[in-house]
Each structure stands twice: as C-alpha cells, then as structure tokens.
C-alpha cells in the first residue's frame, strides 16, 4: 500500500492502495465513481473507459501508478443530469441507450476521437469503434448521436 | 409459470408471511422506499390493492411492481401505465421494482411476458384500474354526486359544479383495504393520453451522465470483496484446497470452500483478484466432452424427452404420394448472453438474515434459492433487484447472487462479488440452446405445400432456478444441488390445445389437435416432433429461447420451398397463412421495403464478385404473442464469403402500443443483436473446457461496423391484447439474412453463424451442384 495522488474530475484525491491496482478499482471502490464499469477487465470492450489527458483510456488495464500527473475525467466528470456535456446531450436526444452499461466506452471513445479528429470520415469513426462493444446493440442510435456530436465539433 | 402460480396461491392463503428485518440489515441509504406502511403482508399479497399501490399524503402515487427494468424500458412504460390509469402526471408516480419485501411476487421478468401480464387485465394494470375506480367511489360518497358525473384530471376529482377533492384528501397515507377488482375497467387505448405516447426513457439522463447506480456501483458499509475460483474444466471436483498458497496475502479475510464451490474474500477488490489467481486448488479429472465437430450428430443419438406437438397422421402418405419432396437440416450453435458487464452482486448475511442486491430477473425465485443455499428460512431473505448489465435471459446474475450470499455468510460481513470475464463466459451464464432441426415437405402439382414434417433436437441442461432448483445454475450445482432432471420420455399423440410457446410449429401449419386448430397457417398435413436431450453445458432462456432456433429453420425452409416452387417468397408465404395479424405484418414489411415480387434467387446476379439480395422471414411469436415480419438486404463477397447486411426492415404488431419510442428501440436492438448472433457468435470448446472465454474468442459485432439502415413499421392494434415485443425482431433476423444470401448468390446457409468460411463453403457447394 502506498499513498497515491490522482487528479480526477478536477479534484485531487489521495488514495492508499497497492500501486498495481487497476485504475478502475480505485475510481469505483475508493472514489465511489459510477461512470467507468467492469466489463471484461481485459481491455477488450470499453466499459471502463476514462479520459486520461483527453485520451480514451481503458482503466481496467491501467495501473493507478501509471496515471502520474495526468488528469482523469470520467463520464460523470463531463456533465451533470441538469447540464449534460454536448456528447451526453446527443445521446439523450437520440435515446441512444438500453441498459446503458457500455456508455463510458461509447461516449468517451467518441469524445476523445472527435475532439482530436473533428473532420473524421464515417469510415474513420467506424475504425475508432472496432473494439468498443454494446451488447444491447444500440448501434444505430449511438452512431447517430456520435454523428450529431461530430457536427458540433465541425462548425 | 406453474410454480409461480402455486406460489401466488400460497401467498394468498398464508397468513404468516411477515418479512421481519432488523434495522441493521436495512442499511439506511440502501433501504429503498419501504412504502408508507412498512413491510408486511398487505404489501405482498397480490390479491390486495395495497400490495400494488399507495397514495401518499403528498398525493404521490407509489406503485410496486414485480417486473423490473434491465434496459428494455419496463420502468418508463410501467410508470406510464400507472399515470394513465390514475390520471396523474408521470412525475407524480414513483415505481418500486422487484424487492421481495415490498413488491408482489410476479415470478420472473422474462419471455416477453411482462407486457402481457402487467398491461392487460391483470397485475399492475388491474391494480391501477381498481384504484382509480375506488377513488371515484370515495369521491362520489364524499361529494354526494354519482360517479358518472365526476371527472378526474391530475389527481383531482371534480364535479361539473366545480366541487373538487384530491387523491391525497381521499386516501393520502392510508390503505385502501380492498381486493383487486377483476371487473375494474382499463382505460381504452382511444382515450390514452400518457400511454401510447413516445415517452423518452426516464433513466437515460442518469445513464448518460454516469449517475445511474448499477449493482456494480453499490457500496454497502463494511463491504468486503469476493472472487470465485471455478473449476479448470468441466466435471472437476475439489480434491483439496491449499490455503497456504495464499496465506499472508494482504487483505485476505477467508478462503471459502463448500463442496466444489471455492471462493475467497479480501478487504479490497484487487487483493481478492490476486489471491484468487494465486490460490492452489487440487482438482479431480475433467469429463471428456463430445467433440464440437460432430456435436449435431451426437445430440441426435442421446436419450430424449419427446413431445409430439401436432400430428395429422397422414404426412408419410402425402410425402410418398407427392412429386416433389424437399428435405433440409438446420443447425444452431450454443450462444451466449455475453452481457457487456461480467455479473456482480452484493450480499449481507448476518445472524441468519440475508439481504441480497441482485441483478436477477427473478427476485422471488432467487430469494428461495438463497434460502436453500444458506439453509435459512425463506422469510429471512430479502432480494432487492439492482440493475446489472443488459441481460437478455439468464446471464451470471443468479449465480453471482448465490456466490455473494455464500461468501458473505462465511465472513459475516457484506460482500461484493464481481465475476471475471472468463467466470461469466465459461462458468457463469446459461447458454442459449444448441439445436439441430430436420425439415421435410412436399409440394403439390400447383406448387403449394401439401405436407410438412419437422423433427428437432435441442440440448438442454439446468435453466432458470425457479423456486426449487438452485442447481440449475453453476453455483447451486457446485455446492451440491441437483439441476432439474431431464427424464427421457417417448411422446404420445397430442391432446388438448396447440401449445406453440417455443415456435416448434411453423406459422404455415393449421396446428390442429382433435379438430381444434391453433396455428396461423393453412397446411393441414402436419407433424412436429421435438426432442430434448441433455446438454453438457448449462443452458437457459437466452433471448428468444428456441423460438429463434426453430424460426431460423422454418423460415429458411419456407424460402427453400418457395424457390423450388419458383414463387415470390412473400407471395408464397401469404398463400399458406390464415392469421390476419401475421399476414398484415408481412404485407407491411414488403411495402416499407419496396419489395420487388419475384422468385429467389435473383436471376441476374453474377456468381463472382459482390452480389446483393433480399430475404424475408416472419413469425407469430410463441404462436400468438406478437407478430413480426423482417426483410434483410445483404451483400455477399463471393471471394471471401463475407456477408454485409445493408438494410433491415421490420414490421411488428404487438397489440396496443404502450410506448412507440421504447418499442422502436427494442426492435432495432433485437434486429442487430440477432444479426451479430447470425453472423459471428458461437460458443466453442475442446475436449474438456469452453474455449470462448472472452471477446477475442467469442466474437460480437463491435460498434465499429457499417451499421445497416434499420426501419421499423409499427402496426398498432388497440383492440387486441397487449403482447410482448422484446423478442420479435431477433426471432426473425437470422432467417431473413440467410434468405438474402440465397437470393444474392443461390447458396443456401443452413448453419449459424454465417462465418465467411461457412458462406464460402456454401458458395463452393453451389458450383459443385
Ligand atoms: S472493462 Fe476495460 S475494456 Fe472491458
Ligand atoms: S446499452 Fe446495454 S450494452 Fe450498450
């Protein structure tokens, strides 16, 4: 165990854990965050995704010690139910969820990718989602929501 | 269904069902609404209105339902139902779902049964209608005006003269003390103002902003973390557990062994995970599994429980006399629920009392299972539904709830158990059944079907635990409970009414038994025989259980018949159908897809390069619980065998539509989930163990695909009963895609999934023929 400082959703936290602990467990068990979720623990599905300095990162295979000075943003760090972030608003508008368990992977992958590649073609967007799963298969709506967000980034 | 009925009867007659909990086990922040009257008999006896509804002093309506929402939209639509029947705004309804200490026992939320049960004249609908009429009666007495002269709006009852009384004034905070009234009138769909409207999902805002609390997010004070250690291969038993292999590991609280169940508890999740990896268990030898290569032949040879569903006793004769007889065999693999989240549950078992926060679709049966596992009285167990990842039937939710109860019991602290991906895929969920289905039919000289025979073998083991069989899922078996036995039995001639709940009988048959015909079609010469054999793996009700497998075989075979008759596939289907509702969805889908009537395969397609085609499939789901026709347009790369679905058009009729927005979401999701299952999903194994244990070895279509265009046509039938809708599109899509591939290429696919290798083989077989 050792005391580790991490910056999450704009606040600095000290946690006392084994440095090898996956970031996901720190966020969920120590900080009580609900956005990132355990899907596979293997980096294959996306459910545990967070933004690490703006990059979509799979927290299930990222040891907390690897975070360092980086700033972590989780799904709840983007917006609130009253004031959702535009990517969240796009998903609400398109009713793009069923169980909603996959949303961190879908929305944060979309945000990170489009923020860095606002001009991406739909083929490039598809490519960015090659390893993101939604088992309720809300694909059609999600892709519409992502396209909606992409529009806001392009103007 | 039977066991839940008798259970309900028991609840009605039992005066002793008082759930008593110590304040400690209610754990304040998690206690959920207890309703205005605490937890006691009247909250659970389903024949009493107070079990279903309460009006608070503030006018809030609290409704208690035994049907829960795991992503299929039941929360929103049940809230609409209550708001509609009681004429209050949605915001004035609070819905409490599936908690054995406060909601009535409605068995399992499954099988497209929630809508039929709660949206017709029983369950929650009847309760809400009873409450409205009771409130009107009270108002009539209070205001001295006949009921017919009263109007209700926004929870206020008023007379023409302007006298008014609110629900809160009439009953707020008090009990109704009434029985459900079977004669209470449901509001007619033509009068609906809340139901029937596309009300957006009520939880999406919380989901999209990461606020929604899943069972994975629960924190119970004092909670420790558990992991299970499942056997390395099927049939292995525990010889011994070497606790010294983990002694001294940080945070480790206890290694728990009960018969073949092995698990451990640590302070932190990461500690539990490492300890579970390090724990040395000596396991006995595994069983040898039947080879996957020849599995479909293997299941034909096994002792079976047989059901002869229909038999006109003249099919042999008709087939022998017919100039054209077609036969074909279809096979369908084991598939997974493959929930996006590996299952998780939290249990707090102390002083012989257990509270389990569980993602199960069956809180009452799970309560019964936990009581049996811990050998404590039923009344000492409370199961609270807490949403997990989308489930689609029987994923690891029930088994992980047992795991959590066992581990918490062993350490006397609340324990959260998270299964690993491999635990979930190899040792957690109950797979969708593998089947092989033989079809045989005769065409007469006019190109119509003169006789149809179908014989199927489905591999089955375990299933939903229900109230009596915790051994139907892995943890129950590991601790020593037997799964429900499969007793081989010969079939006798069918009697009574047609039961087509598994869609064993193709929609085109008359389904006649002793002169009574329950089928949707016109073919009189019919024989359907179904065998159930013992599966080496646990199986369960994966979304559209057997209905999907059977429909795949029926609808592809129907396509083969129409091609042989050289008739357009829709026209050919219509020729053999009698039920208007399936006829209507078929026509509606054809219209929406701008279907070009002509026989398949597409006459002008080249046999090289990329070819496109369209295919159709339809079904009267469970015989009469919803109707769907689905058209797929697909592109086949004839070099690689890759199939790309371009467009899916689904027309559905599920009676009066309660929420068109939620319905569309279900139809779209079902269509794509079905497409993924048709194209890539298959459980695999070697001599001893499951080898599809993660997303690299069990392939699911990711979000990054060219998503086909999906169009849904909703046929509203206000006069009909409400049917299920969640399994409609998924039941038809595999056949529609297979038929589209045939239309494009002339190659017939008879085995799911349609992997490039299999498609390629079918394309090659075409030139050989
Ligand atoms: S949980 Fe991290 S990628 Fe699946
Ligand atoms: S909404 Fe359920 S997995 Fe995506």
* Gap from CA of B216 to ligand 1 centroid (Å): 14
Contact between A85 and A107 under an 8 Å Cβ cutoff? The reply is no
If asked whether residues A14 and A51 sit together in one domain, one would say: yes
Q: Which of A16, A44, A76 is the last residue of a domain?
A: A76
Identify the pLDDT of residue B523.
Answer: 98
- For B491-507, the pLDDT digits (tens) are 999 999 999 999 999 99
Shared domain for A35 and A68, answered yes or no, is yes
B680 has pLDDT over 50: yes
Indicate yes or no: CB of B210 within 8 angstroms of CB of A33.
Answer: yes
Measured from the alpha carbon of residue B695, the closest ligand is 1
Verify that A107 and A148 share a domain, yes or no: yes
Mean pLDDT over each residue of chain B, to the nearest integer: 92
Distance A41 CA to ligand 1 centre (A): 5
Residue closest by Cα to atom 3 of ligand 1: A43
Mutate which: A28, A136, A138, A147, vs B, most B CBs within 10 A: A136
B769 band by pLDDT with thresholds 50, 70 and 90? low
For range B131-150, the mean pLDDT: 96
Tell me the HSE value of B518 on the side-chain side, using a 13 A CA sphere: 19
pLDDT at B550: 98
Distance from the A5 Cα atom to the nearest Cα atom in chain B, whole angstroms: 18
- Inter-chain CB proximity A126 and B672 less than 8 Å: no
Q: Smallest Cβ distance to B389: which of A97, A101, A137? A: A101
Assess whether the region B215-285+337-427 and the region B433-768 belong to the same CATH fold. yes
Residue among B627, B194, B633, B212 at smallest CA distance from B387: B212
Q: For B85-102, how does the pLDDT look when each residue is reduced to its tens digit (9 = 90+)?
A: 999 999 999 999 999 988
B21: pLDDT strictly greater than 80: no
Residue that finishes a domain, picked among A53, A76, A99: A76
pLDDT at residue B768, rounded to an integer: 63
d(CA A55, CA A62): 13
Question: Which helix (H) or strand (E) segment is A126 a member of?
Answer: helix A122-128
Give the span between the Cα atoms of B627 and B693, in whole angstroms. 35
| Residue B110: pLDDT band with limits 50, 70, 90 | confident
Q: Compute the nearest-CA separation of A133 from chain B (Å).
A: 5
Can you tell me the mean pLDDT for A10-17?
Answer: 97
Report whether pLDDT(B668) > 90.
yes
| Chain B CB contacts of A61 below 8 Å | none
Spell out which residues of chain B touch residue A1, defining contact as CB-CB under 8 Å: 250
- Say yes or no: domain B433-768 is CATH 3.40.50.2300: no
Structure tokens given for B286? 């595994």
A8 and A72, same domain (yes or no) = yes
Domain count, chain A: 2
**Under an 8 A CB cutoff, do B704 and A22 touch?**
no
Contact B340/A88, CB-based, under 8 Å?
no
Per-residue model confidence as pLDDT tens digits over B387-400: 999 999 999 999 99
Residues B492, B473 contacting (CB under 8 angstroms): no
Tell me if A88 and B208 make a contact (CB, 8 A cut-off).
Answer: yes
Q: How far apart are CA B651 and CA A85, in angstroms?
A: 35
Search chain A and give the residue with CA nearest B73. Answer: A98
Proximal ligand: closest to the CA of A102: 2
Q: Does B656 sit behind a cis peptide bond, omega within 30 degrees of 0 on the bond before it?
A: no
With CB atoms and an 8 Å threshold, state whether B269 touches A29: yes
Predicted local confidence at residue B27, as pLDDT: 31
Mean pLDDT within B128-145: 96
User: Are B270 and A17 a contacting pair at CB < 8 A?
Assistant: yes
Give me the DSSP letters along B647-706. Answer: EEEEEEE-SS-S-HHHHHHHHHHHHHHHHHHHHT----B-SSSB---STTTS----S-S-
What's the confidence (pLDDT) of residue B375? 96
Give tens-digit pLDDT for B563-612: 999 999 999 999 999 999 999 999 999 999 999 999 999 999 999 999 99
For chain B, which residues make up each domain, given as ranges?
Answer: 3-208, 215-285+337-427, 433-768
Query: B518 in ligand 2 pocket by Cβ < 6 Å?
Result: no
Complex ipTM more than 0.90, yes or no: yes
Q: Which of A22, A51, A76 is the last residue of a domain?
A: A76
As assigned by CATH, the class of the B215-285+337-427 domain is alpha beta
**What's the confidence (pLDDT) of residue B45?**
86
Q: A98 and A43, same structural domain? A: no
**B218 vs A contacts (CB less than 8 Å):** none
Q: In 10 A of CB A129, how many CB atoms?
A: 23
Q: Could you tell me if A22 and A60 are in contact, meaning their C-beta atoms sit under 8 angstroms apart?
A: yes
On whether both A64 and A95 belong to a single domain, the answer is no
Widest Cα–Cα separation across chain A: 48
Domain around A65: 2-76
pLDDT in tens, B545-560: 999 999 999 999 999 9
Residues A119 and A141 placed together within one structural domain of the fold? yes
Query: Region B178-189: what's the mean pLDDT?
Result: 94
Mutate to test the interface with A, among B68, B395, B679, B704 (most CBs of A within 10 A): B704
Which ligand 1 atom sits closest to the C-alpha of B695?
A: 4
pLDDT at A1 over 50: yes
Distance B335 CA to ligand 2 centre (A): 18
Ligand with minimal distance to B392 CA? 2
Domain shared by A56 and A95, yes or no: no
Q: Which ligand is nearest to the CA of B72?
A: 2
Query: Residue B31: which pLDDT band, with cuts at 50, 70 and 90?
Result: very low
Alpha-carbon Rg for chain B in angstroms:
27
Provide the pLDDT for residue B332: 98
Across the interface, of B341, B418, B670, the residue whose CB is closest to A47 is B341
Higher pLDDT, B12 or B672: B672
Confidence of residue A94 (pLDDT cuts 50, 70, 90): very high
Rounded distance from Cα B272 to ligand 1 centre (Å): 18
Predicted confidence (pLDDT) per residue in B289-314, tens digit: 999 999 999 999 999 999 999 999 99
DSSP letter assigned to residue B539: B
Range B3-208: architecture per CATH = 2-Layer Sandwich (3.30)
The string of pLDDT tens digits covering residues A41-89 is: 999 999 999 999 999 999 999 999 999 999 999 999 999 999 999 999 9
Is B214 within 8 Å of A37 when comparing Cβ atoms?
A: yes
- Per DSSP (E only), the strands in B9-52 are none
- Global pTM value: 0.94
Q: Is A134 in the pocket of ligand 2 (CB under 6 A)?
A: yes
Does residue B339 register a pLDDT over 80?
yes
What per-residue confidence (pLDDT) applies to B112? Answer: 73
A111 lines ligand 1 (CB under 6 A): no
Res. B13: pLDDT tops 80: no
Angstrom distance (rounded) from CA B344 to CA B357: 9
Is residue B191 pLDDT above 80, yes or no?
yes
Residues A47 and A94 in one domain: no
Shared domain for A100 and A51, answered yes or no, is: no
Residue A32 lies in a domain: yes
pLDDT score for B301:
97
CATH classification of the domain holding A150: 1.10.150.120
In this predicted structure, what is the pLDDT of residue B39?
38
Cα B152 to ligand 2 centroid, rounded to whole Å: 39
Q: What percent of chain A has pLDDT over 90?
A: 95
Give the ranges where B183-314 is alpha helix by DSSP (H): 204-208, 269-278, 295-301
Whether B118 shows a pLDDT value over 60: the answer reads yes
- If pLDDT is split at 50, 70 and 90, which confidence band does B43 have? low
A27 and A57 fall within a common domain: yes
- Position A81 in a domain: no
- A11 and A71 assigned to the same domain: yes
pLDDT for residue B28 is more than 70: no
Which atom of ligand 1 is nearest to A24's Cα?
2
Q: What tens digit of pLDDT does each residue of B200-250 get?
A: 999 999 999 999 999 999 999 999 999 999 999 989 999 999 999 999 999
- B120 pLDDT tier (thresholds 50, 70, 90): confident
Would residue A126 count as lying in a domain? yes
pLDDT band at B15, cuts 50/70/90?
very low
- Rounded (10°) angle between helices A139-154 and A103-116: 30
Report residue B737 as tokens.
């895609």
Quote the pLDDT of residue B111: 64
Q: Which of A58, A108, A133 to mutate to test the pocket of ligand 1 (most atoms within 8 A of CB)?
A: A58
Whether A13 has a pLDDT exceeding 70, the answer reads yes
pLDDT tens, B503-516? 999 999 999 999 99
Dist CA B387 CA B203 (whole Å): 12
């Amino acid at each position: 165990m050792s005391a580790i400082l991490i910056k999450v959703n704009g606040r600095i936290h000290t946690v006392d854990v084994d440095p090898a602990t996956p970031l996901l467990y720190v966020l969920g068990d120590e900080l009580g965050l609900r956005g990132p979720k355990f899907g596979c623990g293997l980096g294959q599905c996306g459910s545990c995704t967070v933004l690490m300095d703006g990059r979509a990162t799979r927290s299930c295979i990222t040891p907390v010690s690897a975070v360092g000075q980086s700033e972590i943003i989780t799904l709840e760090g983007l917006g609130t139910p009253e004031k959702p972030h535009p990517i969240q608003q796009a998903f609400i508008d398109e009713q793009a969820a069923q169980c909603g368990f996959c949303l961190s992977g879908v929305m944060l992958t979309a945000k990170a990718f489009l923020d860095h590649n606002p001009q991406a073609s739909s083929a490039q967007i598809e490519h960015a989602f090659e390893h993101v799963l939604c088992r309720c298969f809300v694909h059609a709506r999600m892709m519409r929501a992502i396209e909606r967000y992409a529009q806001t980034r392009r103007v | 269904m039977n066991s839940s009925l008798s259970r309900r009867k028991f609840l009605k007659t039992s005066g002793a069902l008082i759930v008593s909990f110590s304040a400690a086990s209610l754990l304040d922040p998690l206690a959920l609404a207890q309703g205005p009257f605490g937890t006691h008999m009247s909250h659970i006896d389903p024949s009493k209105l107070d079990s279903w509804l309460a009006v608070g002093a503030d006018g809030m309506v609290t409704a208690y339902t035994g049907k829960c929402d795991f992503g299929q939209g039941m929360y929103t639509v049940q809230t609409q139902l209550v708001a509609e029947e009681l004429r209050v705004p949605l915001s004035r309804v609070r819905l409490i779902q599936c908690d054995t200490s406060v909601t009535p026992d409605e068995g399992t939320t499954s099988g497209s049964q929630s809508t039929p049960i709660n949206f017709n004249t029983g369950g929650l609908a009847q309760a809400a209608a009873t409450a409205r009429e009771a409130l009107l009666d009270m108002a009539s007495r209070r205001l001295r005006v006949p009921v017919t002269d009263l109007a209700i709006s926004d929870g206020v009852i008023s007379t023409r003269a302007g006298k008014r009384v609110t629900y809160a004034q009439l009953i707020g905070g008090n009990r109704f003390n009434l029985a459900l009234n079977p004669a209470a009138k449901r509001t007619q769909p033509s009068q609906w103002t809340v139901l029937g409207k596309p009300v957006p999902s009520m939880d999406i805002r919380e989901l999209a902003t990461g606020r929604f609390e899943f069972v994975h997010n629960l924190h119970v004070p004092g909670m420790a973390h558990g992991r299970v250690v499942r056997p390395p291969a099927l049939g292995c038993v525990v010889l011994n557990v070497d606790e010294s292999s983990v002694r001294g590991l940080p945070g480790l609280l206890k290694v728990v062994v009960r018969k073949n169940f092995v698990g451990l508890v640590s302070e932190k999740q990461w500690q539990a995970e490492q300890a579970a990896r390090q724990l040395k268990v000596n396991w006995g030898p595994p069983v040898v599994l039947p080879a996957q290569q020849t599995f479909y032949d293997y299941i034909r040879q096994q002792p079976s429980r047989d059901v002869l569903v229909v038999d006109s006793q003249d099919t042999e004769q008709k087939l022998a006399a017919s100039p054209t007889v077609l036969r074909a065999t279809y096979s369908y693999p084991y598939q997974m629920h493959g929930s996006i989240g590996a299952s998780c549950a939290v249990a707090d078992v102390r002083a012989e009392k257990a509270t389990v926060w569980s993602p199960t679709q069956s809180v009452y049966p799970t309560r019964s299972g936990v009581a049996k596992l811990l050998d404590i009285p039923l009344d000492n167990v409370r199961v609270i539904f807490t949403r997990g990842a989308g489930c689609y039937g029987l994923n690891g939710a029930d088994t992980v709830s047992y795991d959590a109860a066992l581990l918490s019991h062993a350490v006397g602290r609340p324990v959260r158990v998270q299964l690993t991906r491999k635990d979930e895929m190899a040792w957690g969920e109950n797979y969708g059944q593998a089947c092989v289905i033989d079809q045989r039919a005769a065409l007469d000289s006019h190109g119509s079907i003169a006789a149809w025979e179908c014989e199927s073998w489905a591999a089955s083991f375990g299933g939903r635990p229900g109230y009596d069989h915790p051994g139907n899922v892995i943890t129950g078996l590991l601790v020593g409970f037997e799964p429900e036995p499969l007793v081989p039995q010969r079939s006798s001639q069918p009697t009574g009414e047609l039961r087509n709940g598994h869609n064993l009988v193709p929609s085109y048959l008359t389904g006649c038994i002793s002169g009574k015909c329950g089928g949707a079609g016109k073919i009189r010469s019919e024989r359907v025989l179904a065998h159930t054999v013992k599966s080496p793996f646990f199986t369960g009700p994966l979304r559209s259980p057997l209905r999907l497998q059977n429909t795949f075989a029926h609808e592809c075979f129907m396509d083969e018949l129409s091609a042989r008759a050289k008739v357009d596939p829709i026209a050919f289907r219509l020729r053999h159908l009698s039920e208007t509702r399936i006829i209507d969805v078929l026509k509606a889908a054809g219209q929406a897809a701008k279907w070009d009537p002509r026989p398949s395969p597409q006459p002008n397609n080249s046999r090289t390069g990329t070819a496109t085609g369209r295919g159709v499939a339809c079904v009267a789901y469970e015989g009469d619980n919803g109707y769907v026709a689905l058209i797929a347009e697909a592109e086949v790369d004839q070099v690689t065998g890759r199939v790309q679905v371009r467009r899916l058009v689904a027309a559905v009729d599920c009676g009066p539509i309660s929420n068109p927005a939620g319905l569309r979401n279900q139809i779209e999701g079902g269509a794509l989930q079905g497409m993924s299952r048709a194209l890539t999903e298959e459980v695999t194994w070697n001599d001893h163990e499951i080898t599809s244990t993660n997303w690299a070895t069990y392939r699911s279509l990711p979000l990054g695909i060219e998503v086909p265009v999906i169009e849904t046509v909703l046929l509203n039938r206000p006069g009909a009963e409400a049917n299920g809708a969640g399994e409609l599109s998924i039941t038809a899509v595999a056949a529609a895609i297979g038929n589209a591939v045939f239309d494009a290429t002339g190659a017939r696919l008879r085995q799911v999934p349609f992997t490039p290798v299999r498609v390629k083989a079918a394309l090659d077989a075409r030139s050989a023929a």
